[in-house]
Amino acid sequence: MHLGYAAGKVLTAAATPGTGQHSSDQHTGVLIGKDTRISGYMLESALQAGLSAAGVDIYLAGPMPTPAVAYLTRALRLSAGIVISASHNPFADNGIKFFAAHGNKLPDAVEHSIEAQLELPIETMPSEKLGKARRIGDAAGRYIEFCKSTFPTELDLRGIKLVIDCAHGATYHVAGEVFHELGADVVTIGNRPDGLNINHDCGAVHPQALQDAVKANGADLGIGFDGDGDRVVMVDADGRIYDGDELLYVIAAFRHAAGLLEGGVVGTLMTNLGMERALTGLGVPFLRAAVGDRYVLEKLQENQWQLGGENSGHIICLDRHTTGDGIVSALQVLHAVRALNKPLSDLVKPVALYPQVLVNVRVARDFDFRSNAAVMDAVKEHEQSLSGDGRVLLRASGTEPVIRVMVEGADPKQIRKHADELAQAVTLAARASVEEGKLATQEK
């Protein structure tokens, strides 16, 4: 509730600079959408109350994918959009994400202003200035038509049988309709949310269910989304899984061959080396951003490029949408499949993915591996051992006290050994840091 109030105060002040309030002839509205987890009801009501107390009108979209909220915020000319979702996480988690008026992430300055406002008490507006709420009855239909508009009008999906796995999440009532209305024969699974089953053994994070359903239904392809619909994986008739790196390559290679790719492609520090080398083999420039779709987007905008993504399945096509969208990304892959009349397996043949091993190491929250000489020496040693035919990456999780150790290279056994040894080095260094901290405290 306090976050809703703080956001409302900041957005209202932005609508009418210098007043902290919106004038009677200036409209400030905020859209709220959510995924299907049970806590969404509670958080939606609390946000709604806070926004209303700040004098901001609220538009309720109900369960809608994260990219749908970005689109609807822009389409309805609202001041901001809010998504209540923990994306691919289990149902007990939840989170809150903001979009600016044009469907982009909020600028840092606005986020900082909201954080500052959170430190201040709630002062409810007078009754006559409280915000009103209304539900958008056609939100799903609007978004379905938008997704369809990103697929070429001269093509359709007739003759293709698809299995769509909605992860019992926010795409449950829209994804199947998009592909069906474009002509595909659609079998939808993971479309019976009960508030507790979102992402549970299904969807993009757990594609086994999709693999099984594709084979059982004799489908040509399977498409899996995560709980909030911003990431995608695909499966072919043989059960082979295609991750975000491979799907991004298919889109980029098709556009490059057609002369439609503006600039290059942005990946992340986790993007597979094989994907990077396949793109550079085509003469397509490639840059790496920090892990996270926000950083991919920033680098795309910085270079005025259009295409980027993560191996997790977040793919951004800025000529189609302002943010990553699982449905739109899948349609871009299907565009290439349909236009070239080739199976997905043929389109990814140039990509020879390197094996990757990822080990999570639990550490104290204040442990900074970058300033730890023992850890950095170990990283340097293992990088040299790979002799340029692999990579070592350490990064701190943004949501838990974990250091993620990733080693990539040609030999699976070798990189497993490197990853385990590096993880052990991090563990020992983190323990030593804790002991040093205890000693320092005792001395004081």
HSE, CB side, 13 Å, CA atoms: give it for residue 441.
6
Catalytic-residue membership of 127: no
Enter the tokens of residue 317.
Answer: 């096509």
Q: How many CB atoms lie within 10 A of CB 25?
A: 5
Of 138, 19, 12, residue with least CA distance to 79: 12
CA distances from 312 to 69, 73, 191, 340, 341 (A): 21, 26, 21, 25, 26
CB-based contacts of 348, cutoff 8 Å, min separation 6: 242, 246, 249, 250
| 3 state SS for 269-327 | CCCCHHHHHHHHHCCCCEEEECCCHHHHHHHHHHHCCCEEECCCCCEEECCCCCCCCHH
Enter the tokens of residue 427.
Answer: 């563990």
Of 8, 66, 2, residue with least CA distance to 34: 66
Enter the tokens of residue 224.
Answer: 């899996």
CA distances from 38 to 18, 49, 198, 406 (A): 39, 18, 9, 34
Encoded amino acid at 263, one letter: G
Q: Which of 85, 87, 329, 433 is catalytic?
A: 87
Encoded amino acid at 339, one letter: A
For residues 315 and 293, what is the distance between their CA atoms, to the nearest angstrom?
8
CA distances from 23 to 10, 12, 13, 59, 128 (A): 14, 9, 10, 19, 13
Of 107, 39, 106, residue with least CA distance to 69: 106
Known catalytic residues are 87
